Amino acid sequence: MKNLLSFYLATLLSSSIVLGQVPNQTFKPGSREFKALNKSYETYENAKKINAKHKVKIAVIDTGVDYKHPLLRKHMHYNLKELKSKFDKKDNDSNNFKDDFLGYDFTGLDGLPYYALLDFRGGRDMEFEYKNGASHGTHVAGIAANRDERIGIIPFRVISMADNDETRLRESRNPVIRSIKILAQYIKDSIYLAKIQGARVANLSLGVNPGEGYLSEAESKTSFKKLRKYISSAVPDMLIVTAAGNESTDVSTGSFIQPCQLRTKNVLCVGSVNKKGIISGFSNYGIQHVDIFAPGEEIVSTIPTAYADDPSMALAAKSGTSMASPYVAHVVARMLIEAPCLSTDEVVKILKHTAFTQKVKLSRDGKPVSIGNSHSSIYKYKIVNKKKAIEFAASKSCR
């Protein structure tokens, strides 16, 4: 359990992106497995009712989400046009993706949503789940939804837990694609699909460390530049909330590549603070990139049900900017529920306007220090004020 509790995405994405780790499965219609899989999703009628309650949708672009979790089920936002026929291997709504009835899994070759494999293994294979499952994304989704039935979650899996498993990498006979180009494309496609479903918020609790010679930094930067262009031009009405990362570094000087560094108006970069409002030791920071801070230490949220005997008790505490980002995504969703007419620009302005302002001394090497006198400057930072931000948005009521 130790790994679980201390896990956050900076470690998840330490080196590379792997494709082809998920074995192909044959799904025979009418088979026991096929029936079990179909049953694990909502029926068309149920999904229609659940969808209707969702006033704002958040795309959770991550490692996938346990859509069967009792605390997440009512948040899952289905693509009804595809759900009607479930796995018919056809693109029923002509969006270029087959059977994308619940977000999309970009990491599997089988084209099925995540968790399909887990279902086939009886739902209790902890080791397998750890490597392939949706622990990180499930936790993030729980924070983003925060049990508000008006918030829909559209889950996308753009990375698999196996991406960070060196043993698995070495043993794998599949080609390893160590390219951030692929990840940038998955993120772009997720945003495209989320847009069609009407999502106004996307959460990206991820980043890539191009170290160990796997990735060319130049290539990575080019891919992210393209992604930035897409985000600013194709989805100006969607606010992309991103994690600042857990390298204890100024984002503008770090060697990692993150959506957080995409400096465009509708990308918000979130760092982590503790309960006292002090910047978390692991959190990245930086005047140029980090827009706002939010709680990111020991945050209790949902984890895949395979981890607990009682599915409703599948919860764990995790720390990281990965947890701070969906906190802000939730606040943004709540603001948009109050005032759907707010533009992404206005949302960002209100978030910053209503935020708490904190000051911290910076040491000579530029790191925030809470004590000590050998400092060279002061770093002012903002912490999201959930209550005030939502109230302020409500005062801008669109009606």
Residues in contact with Ca ion by CB under 5 A are: 82, 88, 90-93, 95, 97, 99-100
User: Is the CB of 82 or the CB of 247 nearer to Ca ion?
Assistant: 82
Nearer to Ca ion, 99 or 163 (CB): 99
Q: Dig out the tokens for 90 from the structure.
A: 């056809």
**Quick one: three-class SS letters along 286-351?**
CCCCCCEEEECCCEEEECCHHHCCCHHHCEEEECCHHHHHHHHHHHHHHHHHHCCCCCHHHHHHHH
Least distance to Ca ion from the beta carbon of 194, Å? 13
Single-letter residue type at 343? S
Question: ∠ at Cα 275 (269, 281), nearest 5°?
Answer: 60
Pairing state between β 151-157 and 104-105: parallel
Q: Which residues pair with 318 in a beta bridge?
A: 299
Tell me whether residue 93 or residue 119 sits nearer to Ca ion (CB atom). Answer: 93
Tokens of 60: 């959770």
Closest CA to 140 of 254, 7, 22: 7
Residue 193 C-beta: closest distance to Ca ion, Å:
8
- CA–CA separation, 11 and 22 (whole Å): 21
Q: How far is the CB of 81 from Ca ion (least distance, A)?
A: 7
Residue placing its CB nearer to Ca ion in the complex, 25 or 222: 25
CB of 342 to Ca ion, least distance (A): 30
Least Cβ distance, residue 51 to Ca ion (angstroms): 16
Q: Between 53 and 98, whose beta carbon lies closer to Ca ion?
A: 98
Residues in the chain: 399
Nearer to Ca ion, 25 or 92 (CB): 92
Task: Using alpha carbons only, give the angle 291, 6, 164 rounded to the nearest 5 degrees.
Answer: 85
Torsion of CA 130, 136, 137, 139, to 10 degrees: 110
Least distance in Å: CB of 234 to Ca ion? Answer: 18
User: What is the nearest approach in angstroms of Ca ion to the Cβ of residue 371?
Assistant: 55
354: its two tokens: 């209503």
Closest of 148, 149, 151 to residue 59, by C-alpha: 151
Shortest reach from residue 30's CB to Ca ion, in Å: 18
Q: Which DSSP state fits 162?
A: G
Closest by Cα among 115, 103, 9, 109 to 47 = 103
Q: Which tokens belong to 259?
A: 């959506």
**CB closer to Ca ion, 86 vs 367:** 86
What span, in angstroms and rounded, lies between the C-alpha atoms of 117 and 308? 18
The residue (of 15 and 197) whose beta carbon lies closer to Ca ion is 197
Smallest separation (angstroms) from Ca ion to the CB of 108: 16
SS3 content of the chain, % helix, strand, coil (to 5): 40, 20, 45
Q: Kindly tell me which of 91 and 125 has the beta carbon lying closer to Ca ion.
A: 91
